[in-house]
Amino acid sequence: MAMNTGGDDNVMSEINVTPLVDVMLVLLTIFIVTAPLLTNAVAVNLPKATSDLSLAQQESINISVTDDGTIYFDKEVVTQENLEFRLGVAAKDAETSVEIFADEKAEYGTVAKIMAAIQRAGISKFTFVMQPEKAG
């Protein structure tokens, strides 16, 4: 016994999506707020251990760049082309690493070319060596 106030007997078949959008936005907000908290949810005290560096120490290649753009490969002056050849020869195994000592006034382009040469030589481990800032 439905009451019909109008002349149409049509049933409304459209879905109202506004409540759905509201619920989804609330769920998205909750997810955005709680996701960073879940990464550090468990506090763990890690054990401390000392290791004998003489047994596990890997040889690393030292590359230095001075403020005038001079490149040193283990204290020998090299050109960019010679550097790539020397890196290829020195990259004997997957554990080879490179330490880059770049002067703070060295040009970015020179350092970027060195990083590209390291990558082309097949070396995936390299670090930039810096002086720690003095506190106080």
- pLDDT by residue (tens digit) across 23-69? 999 999 998 888 776 665 445 455 566 555 444 455 778 888 888 88
State the pLDDT at residue 23. 94
Tell me the Ramachandran region of residue 122: left when phi exceeds 0, alpha when psi lies from -120 to 50, beta otherwise. left
Residue 15: what pLDDT? 84
Q: What is the pLDDT of residue 2?
A: 52
Q: pLDDT tens, 80-94?
A: 888 888 888 877 766
Predicted local distance difference test score (pLDDT) of residue 1: 46
Domains, in order of start, for the chain: 55-128 (3.30.420.270)
pTM higher than 0.85:
no
